[in-house]
Amino acid sequence: MHIVFGGSFNPPTNAHVHIIKHLKSLFVKAKIIVVPVGDDYRKPELASFKHRYAMLELALSDLSDVILSNIESKRGYEGTLKTLDDLSLIYDDLHFVIGSDNLHELDTWINYKELLNKYPLIVMKRPGYMIEQDADQLYKDIPHRFIFIDFDDPSASSNVRQNLYENKHLLHPKVYQYIKTHQIYEVKDHV
């Protein structure tokens, strides 16, 4: 089993690492493939792929059975399905991780029906967001497989971008130092 964990990782936080550790504890034989989005992904304040990839290397350095992929840096953004299809040429039994906060907008994703039909989604439950019964009802007309798992870590990369110094506890110390050194997210204070 290979679990694909995609995201902007802008920056990678301890919560991202906790998600990986939690997945590894539940799916013991699985390998986790971490896939940061490329530079052309339209998201505000997105640091360059080069920096996000380097920060992920630092954040994940203590973990085994984790593969860091640069697949989305090599082409224009074509959606999650395209990335999973490309990864399926190399890895078998792919599952994709998504937060329950993203389920309500899944129908806006590129080729979302084929995505749901083709790949099981591991849904990280987040308080106040869609539960399994609601998701099954919403997507009842599309073949799908959701695996809901409990996870509660409210940390967000946006908090770090808003105030690095006050939220440095959300980062691996080497990631915090990297951000300061390279002055990412326009951080010039507390250097």
Quick: pLDDT tens for 97-109: 998 888 989 999 9
| pLDDT at position 188 over 70 | no
pLDDT tier at 19 (50, 70, 90 boundaries)?
very high
What distances in angstroms separate CA 27 from CA 6, 21, 84, 111, 149, one per listed residue?
Answer: 17, 10, 19, 27, 11
pLDDT of residue 14: 92
Among 49-53, 62-66, 110-114, name the one with the lowest average pLDDT. Answer: 62-66
- Tell me the domains of the chain and their CATH numbers: 2-157 (3.40.50.620)
pLDDT value for 93: 96
- Percent of all residues in the chain with a pLDDT value above 70, rounded to a whole number: 96
pLDDT in tens, 6-18: 999 999 999 999 9
Note the pLDDT tens digit of each residue in 22-59: 999 999 999 999 999 988 887 778 899 999 999 999 99
pLDDT at 163: 83
Cβ atoms of 14 and 55 within 8 Å: the answer is no
Task: Read off the pLDDT of residues 122-138 as tens digits, 9 standing for 90 and up.
Answer: 999 887 888 899 999 99
Rounded to an integer, what distance in angstroms lies between the CA atom of residue 163 and that of residue 150? 28
pTM: 0.89
